């Protein structure tokens, strides 16, 4: 008993020391978040505009200054990070969609600049590295290549053949590295726990997009093989095994969002009812843990119970987008309502005033000291937040 009390006392002391060392802006945001979820929801339009401006700054202030988007802004370090190839890839389709929606030539130009940088760092054979551009070891990784392929496909659709060779090389590299049973095992990222990953269904989506703009190579068929493997990891209650970066027993809603979106995209690509049924089963189960104000625990266990006291805001946005997509296919008002609540929760955490480093940015966790990207504003949280709000506006137009 004494040993337990001493351990707890040491932890309290370490926590107090850490709190004292926090920079002023980090202390302010921590205090703000400890006051609870703000009451005011600023709405989708103002958040989209503000978060797009934050993404522009993430490109302009990347520590490596290369055309990619800074991985994050850290309140602890007080600076922007280096460019992150993976997330730069899937930010590109978001920029191009917003460029069309808002007739914004700057966003279109930024997407092209990011594409040119990605093409310049493609590795021999067609793959792309994991981690930030300056992280070691620098090795080609399946997941990262897939997310960049989403950007290359959008680039071919928007700008034409200039990006087709890079797209084709990346898509062939992915399709040819798929194992016979449909699982990717040969090129794991060194920045996640080892093992098979069901959330690589999000990589399969990139092969569907590649096939749409460059058909005739079997990219879409390879993607479907992978998602069929993913379905074999699903339990009867909608749960997916092998679905986290580091803790498969308590996966992040972020990685659950990846797998759910990949399965929905398999349905969109193929029309196969098995994919729609799988996605609806998981979405149904998640309804029970979406709070009244849209708070979804950042980690969940295999019985769909909360396994954290904080919200992964990235996961909230990703799963909101999945609910909006599923509502289009199955006409579920409860899905539509869940998507709106999840979005509203994230919107209420976003500062639309204040310093430019955080204005319009989306925190990793709410509260900001939660265990996912603690005290950081990651660029992918901003990307998925914009996507989900665009979808909410589209649902309002359709309604």
Residue 98: predicted pLDDT: 98
| CA 195, chain centre distance (Å) | 20
Q: All domains of the chain, ordered by start, with CATH?
A: 26-398 (1.50.10.10)
pLDDT value for 99: 98
Instruction: Match 């204005």 to its residue by tokens.
Output: 359
* Dist CA 144 CA 305 (whole Å): 30
Rounded Cα distance, 371 and 102, in Å: 35
> Averaged in consecutive runs of 10 residues, what is the pLDDT profile of the chain (399 residues)?
61 61 94 95 98 98 98 98 98 98 98 98 98 97 98 98 98 98 97 96 98 98 98 98 94 98 98 98 97 97 97 98 98 98 98 95 98 98 98 86
Do the Cβ atoms of 169 and 215 come closer than 8 Å? no
Written as six digits, the tokens of 22 are: 């926090």
pLDDT of amino acid 39: 95
Joined tokens for residue 206: 């990139």
Q: What pLDDT, on the 0 to 100 scale, is given for residue 218?
A: 98
Q: What is the pLDDT of residue 9?
A: 59
Q: What is the pLDDT of residue 3?
A: 63
Cα angle 61, 65, 70; round to 5: 50
CA–CA gap between residue 99 and residue 108 (Å, rounded): 6
Is the CB of residue 283 less than 8 Å from the CB of residue 335? yes
> Tokens 């460029």 belong to which residue?
99
Instruction: Identify the pLDDT of residue 5.
Output: 56
Question: The dihedral of CA 365, 387, 73, 341: what is its sign?
Answer: negative
Q: Which two tokens stand for residue 240?
A: 């997916």
pLDDT of 6? 57
| Rounded CA separation 318/323 (Å) | 9
| pLDDT score, position 4 | 59
> Who's near 131: CB < 8 A, 6+ residues apart?
84, 138, 144, 189, 190, 191
**Residues 155, 159: Cα–Cα separation, whole Å:** 6
Q: What is the pLDDT of residue 185?
A: 98
* SS3 readout for the chain: CHHHHHHHHHHHHHHHHHHHHCCHHHHHHHHHHHCCCCCCCCCHHHHHHHHHHHHHHHHHCCCCCCCCCECEEECCCCEECCECHHHHHHHHHHHHHHHHHHCCHHHHHHHHHHHHHHHHCCCCCCCCECCCCCCCCCCECHHHHHHHHHHHHHHHHHHCHHHHHHHHHHHHHHHHCECCCCCECCCCCCCCCCCCCHHHHHHHHHHHHHHHHCCCCCHHHHHHHHHHHHHCCECCCCCECCCCCCCCCCCEHHHHHHHHHHHHHHHHHHCCHHHHHHHHHHHHHHHCCCCCCCCCECEECCCCCECCCCEEHHHHHHHHHHHHHHHHHHCCHHHHHHHHHHHHHHHCCCCCCCCCCCCCCCCCEECCCCCCCCCEEEHHHHHHHHHHHHHHHHHHHHC
Backbone angles phi, psi at 159, to 5 degrees: -110, -10
CA 104/CA 161 separation, integer angstroms: 22
Q: What is the pTM of this model?
A: 0.95
Compute the distance between CA of residue 247 and CA of residue 56 in angstroms, rounded to an integer: 33
């Amino acid at each position: 008993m004494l040993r337990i009390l001493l351990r707890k006392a040491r932890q309290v002391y370490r926590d107090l020391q850490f709190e004292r060392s926090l920079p002023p802006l980090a202390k302010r945001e921590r205090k703000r978040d400890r006051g609870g979820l703000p009451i005011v929801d600023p709405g989708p339009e103002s958040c989209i505009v503000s978060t797009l401006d934050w993404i522009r700054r993430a490109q302009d202030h990347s520590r490596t200054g290369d055309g990619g988007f800074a991985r994050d802004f850290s309140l602890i370090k007080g600076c922007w990070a280096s460019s992150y190839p993976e997330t730069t890839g899937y930010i590109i389709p978001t920029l191009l969609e917003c460029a069309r929606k808002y007739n914004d030539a700057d966003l279109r130009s930024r997407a092209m600049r990011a594409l040119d940088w990605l093409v310049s760092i493609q590795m021999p054979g067609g793959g792309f590295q994991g981690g930030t551009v300056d992280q070691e070891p620098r090795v080609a990784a399946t997941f990262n290549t897939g997310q960049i392929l989403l950007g290359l496909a959008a680039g071919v659709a928007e700008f034409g053949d200039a990006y087709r060779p890079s797209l084709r090389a990346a898509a062939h590299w992915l399709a040819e590295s798929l194992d016979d049973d449909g699982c990717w095992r040969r090129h794991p990222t060194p920045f996640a726990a080892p093992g098979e990953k069901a959330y690589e269904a999000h990589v399969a989506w990139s092969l569907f997009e590649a096939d749409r703009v460059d058909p005739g190579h079997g990219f879409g068929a390879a993607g479907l093989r992978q998602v069929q493997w993913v379905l074999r990891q699903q339990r009867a209650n909608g749960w997916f095994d092998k679905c986290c970066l580091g803790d498969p027993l308590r996966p992040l809603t972020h990685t659950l969002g990846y797998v759910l979106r990949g399965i929905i995209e398999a349905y969109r690509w193929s029309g196969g009812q098995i994919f729609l049924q799988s996605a609806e089963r998981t979405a149904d189960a998640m309804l029970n843990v979406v709070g009244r104000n849209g708070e979804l625990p950042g980690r969940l266990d295999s019985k769909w119970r909360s396994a954290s006291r904080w919200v992964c805001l990235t996961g909230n946005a990703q799963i909101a987008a999945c609910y909006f997509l599923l509502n289009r296919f199955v006409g579920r008002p409860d899905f539509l309502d869940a998507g709106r609540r999840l979005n509203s929760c994230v919107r209420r955490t976003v500062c639309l005033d204040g310093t430019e480093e955080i204005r319009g940015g989306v925190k990793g966790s709410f509260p900001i000291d939660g265990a996912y990207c603690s005290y950081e504003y990651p660029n992918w949280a901003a990307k998925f937040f914009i996507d989900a709000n665009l979808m909410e506006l589209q649902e309002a137009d359709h309604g």
